[in-house]
Amino acid sequence: MAEFLRHWHRDDADALADIYARADTDLLSNIPGDRSLAGAQSWLEQICAAQDEGTAAAFAIVAGDLTPVGNVMASGIESRHSTAWISYWLDPSVRGHGLAAAGLRSLVAHLHDELDVYRLELGYRVSNRASGGVARSAGFLVEGRKRERLLYDGLRFDTEVCARLRGDQRAAGRLLPILASETTSSDDDGSAGSR
């Protein structure tokens, strides 16, 4: 099965809206409030514009039939202090196979090595053990706890805040190749080279 990262395309709106339609509680906290096709199109426009400005690096996690099944992203890329905020999510149907962790490790390498971002930060609900495991698998270290930081469905949740620095030891584990070109031809099985 082909598994890789590639930039999101504006024509991914249908696939993104399909993922939104299947969202469970964990995914709902990581996607926009407008989960319609128009909402998916709007999110893709925002991401593409932010990438053009150099303030984001977002990659679709692609697997199986070459349809996006998840996202790994750096937003708020800031050059003065060389920082970025990291987020990630997967369609519920593909969890438990290490895709988010492999995608996050690949994103970390891309940000540190190719975009020269020094400090990467992320946060997750303390009760979301899976998200914490993904962060640890990519070498993020917990720096603290924010009490009752998030509010979902009338309930407040503590979060753990994590970071990793460019000089931190790289985490071992599988990486997903980052597709070098913007398209995949039908005769290469989606196994285009990485950059």
SS3 per residue for the chain: CCEEEEECCHHHHHHHHHHHHCCCHHHHCCCCCCCCHHHHHHHHHHHHHHHHHCCEEEEEEEECCCEEEEEEEEEEEECCCCEEEEEEEECHHHCCCCHHHHHHHHHHHHHHHHCCCCEEEEEEECCCHHHHHHHHHCCCEEEEEEEEEEEECCEEEEEEEEEEECCCCCCCCCCCCEECCCCCCCCCCCCCCEC
Confirm whether 103 is domain-assigned: yes
Confirm whether 18 is domain-assigned: yes
Confirm whether 118 is domain-assigned: yes
Taking only the tens place, the pLDDT of each residue in 111-148 is 999 999 999 999 999 999 999 999 999 999 999 999 99
CATH code for the domain in which residue 40 is found: 3.40.630.30
Confirm whether 33 is domain-assigned: yes
Confirm whether 96 is domain-assigned: yes
Assign 65 a pLDDT band (cuts: 50, 70, 90). Answer: confident
Confirm whether 184 is domain-assigned: no
Taking only the tens place, the pLDDT of each residue in 12-33 is 999 999 998 888 877 877 777 7
Q: What is the mean pLDDT of residues 52-73?
A: 93
Count of structural domains within the chain: 1
Confirm whether 187 is domain-assigned: no
Confirm whether 190 is domain-assigned: no
Q: Which domain holds residue 25?
A: 4-179
Q: What is the mean pLDDT of residues 30-52?
A: 89
Contact in structure between 123 and 160 (CB atoms under 8 Å): yes
